[in-house]
Amino acid sequence: MDKIINYINEGNYFIVTSHVNPDGDNIGSTLAMYYYLKSLDKDVYYVLDDDTPINLKFLLKDIEILSSEEFINLNIEQYNLIALDCGDLNRICIDKSIIENSKKLICIDHHASNDNYGDLNYVMPEESSTCELVYNLLKKINEDKNTQVIDQKIATALYTGVVTDTGKFSYSNTHPSTFEMAKELLILGAETNKVICEVYGNNPYNYYKLLGEALNTLDIINNKIAVITLTQDMLNRNNVSFKDTDGITPYCRDIENVEVGILVKEKSSNEIKISLRSKNYVDVSKVAKVFNGGGHVRAAGLTIFNETIENAIKMVVAETLKYI
């Protein structure tokens, strides 16, 4: 932590970024770091080559996210890169040249599969979220400076990440420290009700039409594995984008007797994104790893290229059955 704090203090130019398929912890942690660096009058750029989900747009109202191309066109030569919530180097959602040309790559993350790919790594797999790590870092800075650096915007961003990565404080990654952090953020002005309303309580009508179709595909294998499939046709028919379908994932896990939920999403004609969730005993990150994916014990993901949906499901179900 101290080394990272030193780098932050000494550097003038920073990029903050995160992983492909942005989620609440991705955006919350990146944004909190962005706001903190801004508060120090650093030149900071939020760079990400992916669309953000509509239920997280409220956080990004005052922010400009640059594409890699836009950043490269600025011709900034000396910069540090802070990658947040990225389990591996390949998932950092910016152009490889930007990573290669950075002075230092600082990695802040909580994925067990993280191999410490950064020049400086603050990686704590047992923590609830990357937002909890950023919170710990800012708390340390508070102590060093004897002042409060977490303002309302930072608190709201951090709260969003911890709420989404813990399934509203329900998953096994919710520790006493997680509640302590939530309490502190509330005291610091985090807009907790707004976060819940925006993230979970604002789904468009079309989303429910899609959800209905998705639930119709539900298949249960050996009473223990549930599979829900979302095709491009279903997304197009209901006018819902791929990035706005994360809310469907819990439905395949939250079924009587089911241990592993598998959400299969056709991202494009040759790319199938699969989300894995488990309840009690299956380490789904092990299943994901077999397909070059990764993640956590209870939540992991992978992508299968150039296979039919049927084959992709067969392969992942066969691997999952080994742990049932």
Site residues (vs ligand 5GP, CB under 6 A): 19, 21, 87-88, 91, 113, 246, 249, 275, 293-296, 299-303
- Specify the 3-state DSSP secondary structure of 84: strand
Residues in the chain: 324
165 binds Mn ion (CB under 5 A): yes
Work out how close the CB of 6 gets to ligand 5GP at its nearest, in angstroms, rounded to a whole number: 28
Work out how close the CB of 269 gets to ligand 5GP at its nearest, in angstroms, rounded to a whole number: 19
26 binds Mn ion (CB under 5 A): yes
Work out how close the CB of 17 gets to ligand 5GP at its nearest, in angstroms, rounded to a whole number: 14
CA distance 164 to 172: 13
Select the binding partner of residue 127 from ligand 5GP, Mn ion, none (C-beta < 5 to 8 A, by kind).
none
Select the binding partner of residue 164 from Mn ion, ligand 5GP, none (C-beta < 5 to 8 A, by kind).
none
Helices then strands (H, E): number in the chain? 13, 12
Phi-psi region of 225 (alpha: psi -120 to 50; beta: other; left: phi over 0): beta
What's the Rg (C-alpha) of the chain? 20
Q: Which of 13, 16, 17, 25 binds Mn ion (CB under 5 A)?
A: 25
Select the binding partner of residue 301 from Mn ion, ligand 5GP, none (C-beta < 5 to 8 A, by kind).
ligand 5GP
Distance of CA 112 to the CA centre of its chain: 14
Measured from the CB atom, the residue of 91 and 153 that comes closer to ligand 5GP is: 91
Q: How many CB atoms lie within 10 A of CB 93?
A: 19
CA distance 46 to 70: 11
For Mn ion, what does the binding mask look like between residues 101 and 130, x meaning CB under 5 A? ----------------------------xx
CB burial class (10 A; 0-12, 13-18, 19+) of residue 306?
Answer: exposed
CA distance 238 to 276: 24
Work out how close the CB of 285 gets to ligand 5GP at its nearest, in angstroms, rounded to a whole number: 8
Measured from the CB atom, the residue of 68 and 249 that comes closer to ligand 5GP is: 249
Q: Which residues bind Mn ion (CB under 5 A)?
A: 23, 25-26, 85, 129-130, 165
